[in-house]
Amino acid sequence: MNPNISPNTVSRRHFLRDCGIGLGKIAAAGLLTDSLAGSAARAAAAHAMPRSHFPGRAKAVIHLFMAGAPSQLELFDPKPMLTKLEGKPLPKSVIGDQRYAFIQPDAAVMGPRFSFQRHGQSGAVLGSPLQHLGKVADEICLIRSVNTSQFNHAPAQIFFNTGFSQPGRPSMGSWVLYGLGSETRDLPAFVVMSTGSGLSGGAALWSSGFLPTTYTGVRFRNGRDPILNVSTPAGISDAIQTDSYQLINALNRERLGAVADPEISTRIASFEMASRLQTSAPELMDLSREPKETLELYGCDPEKPSFARACLLARRMVERGVRFINIYHEGWDAHSDVKGNVESNCRATDQASAALVADLRRTGLLDETLVIWGGEFGRTPMVETNPALGRSQGRDHHPQAFTMWMAGGGIRPGVTIGATDDFGFHIAESPIHVHDIQATIMHTLGFDHERLTYFHAGRDYRLTDVHGNVMHQLLS
């Protein structure tokens, strides 16, 4: 297939008539988040017709988004110099004209609040709160030189997910679905879970932007119904539910005989899939068959919503063909007491993040599953103290340098890429912009990020705007 096809450009009629693909076939190959309306491209995106530019190493992505921005200086990037300088301001020449959210540029430096240790054969250096991650150190690629263009939460989160700081562009998951389609017919192909407090970026983080709305991420909630309305409402018997589905489809079929509108066929397929989903979603969420060791590996109470449970569910989703999974953990915004903040967030996330990597390795899925861990920006080497706000020993937002890690899906394991200067302020080696991360993610999935485009409002758009380079040093 030609890789550069803009899916919105083929008329459905053309597709149905000229490409010899019958409606039934499309319905059978159907995407849960897919539709025929308006564009056969969505059908073209079905798993029967993958359209990557070259064979990708990753088939699925699990993005552990650490919303609020974890402190790289406590977790990944040891800076003894900061301990030496503690209490003194950074040289003006280092700070330049960087704008800050809360602190003054002349704020004093604060040394790391934790010790660092080497782990694994690779000798990866991690802060002491990351004991579990240390156990999979040889599987992960630590990137200490990530930088972004945004220094406020909502714009930076939206930027990381869509390549642009304002809402309105498609998210990474939407682009991937648009490019690769789905491998599941019973579950959404792009799932979003959230386990912390509310998110700064809101629904823009998984929006399909100007792509067809069917590429929007489907939120899995923590409550009884993972998907909105997936359960039969209280007071309605199974018999009524089953018979209702049947009767609706029978009446729709009758109508299809009288009106030449293929949308009715799609509607019938949609109701059939909805009915299946009422079974498949609970099956997915049912962790009772997971072995005790697995639950313990994650530290997961199957009955309680948690980051650990979301990670385990993510593995189950990947097994069932879900393509793109976001797990948001909000709570890293350590304007005060960065030490306590890092401790509590690591308690919530460290074991399960590491378990996910180990579990994917054990089940043979890691090579085809890209795991991404990181926030929207980093935190300042300078302390945040503010008597009016009652803050002390915190760190402000820092866009110039932060750390992420990735694993699986064609990423080089057991290496540490990039470095910052002695203050942890600027990148000293291998700067990697968020657009580069996005380009590299798309590459692992088999896409040239410059060629996965969508024509909208007068021009071709892409995830990386007009930027981004694939970082080959991250790839194995």
N- to C-terminal Cα distance for the chain? 26
For another protein, the closer of residues 227 and 372 by Cβ is: 227
Within residues 103-132, the interface with another protein by CB under 8 A covers 104
Which among 331, 340, 272 has a CA at the least distance from the CA of 129?
Answer: 340
| DSSP 8-state symbol, 302 | T
**Which residue among 55, 293, 390, 472 contacts another protein (CB under 8 A)?**
390
With binding defined as CB under 8 A, does residue 257 bind another protein? yes
| In contact, 299 and 178? CB cutoff 8 Å | no
CB of 167 to another protein, least distance (A): 4
CB of 283 to another protein, least distance (A): 16
Within residues 196-235, the interface with another protein by CB under 8 A covers 197-204, 207, 212-214, 216, 218-219, 221-223, 225, 227-233
C-alpha span between 222 and 307 (Å, rounded): 10
| In contact, 453 and 442? CB cutoff 8 Å | no
| In contact, 186 and 280? CB cutoff 8 Å | yes
CB of 417 to another protein, least distance (A): 28
Within residues 333-372, the interface with another protein by CB under 8 A covers none
Q: Which two tokens stand for residue 21?
A: 């693909």
**Which residue among 303, 304, 388, 472 contacts another protein (CB under 8 A)?**
388
Q: Which two tokens stand for residue 374?
A: 């990181």
Mark 23-52 with x for binding to another protein (rule: CB under 8 A) and - for no binding: ---------xxxxxxx--------------
Within residues 134-193, the interface with another protein by CB under 8 A covers 151-155, 165-168, 188
CB of 136 to another protein, least distance (A): 29
**Which residue among 124, 126, 277, 314 contacts another protein (CB under 8 A)?**
277
CB of 349 to another protein, least distance (A): 18
Q: Is 418 left (phi over 0), alpha (psi -120 to 50) or beta?
A: left
Secondary element (H or E) of residue 263: helix 262-285
For another protein, the closer of residues 69 and 297 by Cβ is: 69
For another protein, the closer of residues 255 and 362 by Cβ is: 255
CB of 102 to another protein, least distance (A): 5
| DSSP 8-state symbol, 350 | H
CA dihedral 320, 326, 331, 334 (to 10 degrees): 130
C-alpha span between 258 and 183 (Å, rounded): 34
What sign does the CA torsion over 365, 368, 373, 376 have? Answer: negative
For another protein, the closer of residues 214 and 464 by Cβ is: 214
For another protein, the closer of residues 453 and 473 by Cβ is: 453
CA dihedral 244, 249, 254, 255 (to 10 degrees): 100
**Which residue among 88, 92, 236, 301 contacts another protein (CB under 8 A)?**
236
Which among 228, 248, 253, 183 has a CA at the least distance from the CA of 30?
Answer: 183
Buried b or exposed e, range 204-215, using 16+ CB within 10 angstroms:
bbbbbbbbbebb
Within residues 304-333, the interface with another protein by CB under 8 A covers 328
Q: Which two tokens stand for residue 260?
A: 């030449």
With binding defined as CB under 8 A, does residue 20 bind another protein? no
User: Which stretch, 125-133, 135-143, 260-268, 364-372, contacts another protein (CB under 8 A)?
Assistant: 260-268
CB of 79 to another protein, least distance (A): 23
| In contact, 352 and 373? CB cutoff 8 Å | no
For another protein, the closer of residues 100 and 122 by Cβ is: 100
For another protein, the closer of residues 259 and 472 by Cβ is: 259
For another protein, the closer of residues 70 and 155 by Cβ is: 155
Q: Which residue has the tokens 């690769």?
A: 180
CB of 271 to another protein, least distance (A): 5
Within residues 396-415, the interface with another protein by CB under 8 A covers 396-397
User: Which stretch, 351-359, 382-390, 419-427, 433-441, contacts another protein (CB under 8 A)?
Assistant: 382-390
User: Which stretch, 253-261, 306-314, 342-350, 416-424, contacts another protein (CB under 8 A)?
Assistant: 253-261
Q: Binders of another protein: how many residues, by CB under 8 A?
A: 101
C-alpha span between 76 and 405 (Å, rounded): 10
CA angle 175, 181, 182 (to 5 degrees): 120
Within residues 52-91, the interface with another protein by CB under 8 A covers none
**Which residue among 10, 81, 108, 287 contacts another protein (CB under 8 A)?**
10
β-strand 60-67 against 324-330: which pairing, if any? parallel
CB of 464 to another protein, least distance (A): 15
Provide φ and ψ at 179, rounded to 5°. -80, -40
